[in-house]
Amino acid sequence: MADTDLMTVTLEGARDSDQVEIDELTLQLRAGLLELDVHRVEPVQVGETPAGSKSGGAVALGVLAVTLSPVALRGVFRLLETWVTNRPIRKVRVVFGDDSIELEHASAEDQRRLVDAFIAVHGPASPAEPVNESGLSGA
């Protein structure tokens, strides 16, 4: 299995969104992410489990933990960019390692530049240039 990293995705609903709507949107996003080449997508648990409760801890509303390899970053961000423009979401905050990025209803060009810069830092290393028989790189 390739190296994996953890990404946290947090949805911030529109001003008039309620908890039920955010929960439904989170489930929709989770389903979309699971269609990509990611290892896991799970709701984030918060707090301790109350004594006598049947399930794990409480779930953080609108927060998903995504386990993926750096190679999957671009696909995840492309999904998020499209997804946020078609839903009543004010912003999507992504935390990856020590860095974070917020996707909002910015122009497609501005958003693409931000995402590309973020992926350049966190994505997989560029493949090495081919080396010819003389030991020099290039074609």
Residue pair 63/43 in contact by the 8 Å Cβ criterion: yes
What confidence tier does 131 reach under pLDDT thresholds 50, 70, 90?
very low
Dig out the tokens for 98 from the structure. Answer: 């020590």
Is the pTM for the entire model greater than 0.75? no
* pLDDT value, residue 47: 65
Tell me the pLDDT of the chain averaged across its residues: 79
Which residues, 6+ apart, have CB-to-CB distance to 7 below 8 Å?
A: 65, 66, 67, 68, 76, 94, 95, 96
139 has pLDDT over 60: no
Other Cβ atoms within 10 Å of 94 Cβ, number: 20
Helix ranges restricted to H, the chain: 19-34, 73-85, 108-122
In the chain, the domains with their CATH numbers are 5-46+58-122 (3.30.70)
